[in-house]
Amino acid sequence: MNRIDLLKELVSKLSKLGIAPEYKYIGTGNPNADILIIGKEASINSNPQQKKIEIDENLDHWKMILSGSFPELTPRDNIFYTPLYPYKGQKFKIYRGKDNGGTSTTWYNYQKLINAIFVKNDNPNIDFHEKVFLTEVNSTPSLKTADADTSSIKFRKELVLSSSFFQTFPVVIISGLGYFEVNDNYNEIVELFGVEYQRCEFPDGKKSQEYFIHQSTDCQKILINTRQLGMNVSDNRINQIAEEIRSSKLISDFQR
């Protein structure tokens, strides 16, 4: 089955479950992308309308998209929202108020990473969703992880992240340590994603910039588990992670 068929299968499965809509959150971006980014949780405020549109209605939006009934969007569309390209038209700069058109620090750094991977530096807008599918371990939004309701995590690991749709991405970036059990006796990432731990890197020689590299035995998947790509992300970390991904030769744009 191709990735779209696998997404349809996941949508159908989740649609039949009588659980809270936020548990059924799938994600945003390009389902056929080579890169999957898994964040900890959406860092949005307590605005119930924003949560409704971005999280609770996510599954219904994908149903419409997959059925071909979702309206075409224009940049910065104020009527329709699509998980294919959320907030299309955001500027490639950090949000400093409603008049500057920027984005969150995390999305700004996601864009820097994608620019580094694909060696592009001329995009004025946030467009990483064209090359990435983005989801979260925890589907309950929270401005701070310390305050997060984590009750959805077990369900999402067992029924969402373990699904064939999410398992087929060749490049996986987990942005944020702590939501997967990793210790000397057990590595949940290895078990869930079918990869083996390779090594740890410390860009700038700092633990605050560390990332961990995993790879499948057939070298058809690379997984990088890193500290959150929000605040205090060095350019060296972004560039080193980008080079790890480029060197894997798992991005279709670079395959020879």
The interaxial angle of helices 235-248 and 105-118, nearest 10 deg, is: 40
- In sequence order, which residues have a C-beta less than 8 Å from that of residue 242 and are 6 or more positions away? 113, 116, 117
The predicted structure's pLDDT at residue 69: 64
**pLDDT band, residue 256 (cuts 50/70/90):** very low
- In sequence order, which residues have a C-beta less than 8 Å from that of residue 121 and are 6 or more positions away? 115
Find the range with the poorest average confidence among 114-128, 142-156, 204-218, 223-237: 142-156
Specify the CATH number for the domain of residue 73. 3.40.470
pTM reported for the whole predicted model = 0.94
Mean pLDDT of 238-246: 97
Query: Average model confidence (pLDDT) for the chain?
Result: 91
Question: Per residue in 69-101, pLDDT tens?
Answer: 655 555 555 556 789 999 888 999 998 877 788
**pLDDT band, residue 176 (cuts 50/70/90):** very high
Gap between the Cα atoms of 98 and 95, Å rounded: 7
pLDDT at residue 211 is higher than 90: yes
Question: Per residue in 132-146, pLDDT tens?
Answer: 999 999 998 887 888
How would you list the strands of the sheet with 28-29, edge to edge? 28-29, 132-136, 35-39, 171-175, 222-226, 211-215, 196-201
Number of domains in the chain: 1
Q: Which domain holds residue 29?
A: 3-254
The predicted structure's pLDDT at residue 77: 55
- Identify the burial level of 27 via C-beta atoms within 10 angstroms of its C-beta, where 0-12 means exposed, 13-18 middle and 19 or more buried: buried
Mean pLDDT of 96-115: 90
Q: What are phi and psi of 54, to 5 degrees?
A: -80, -35
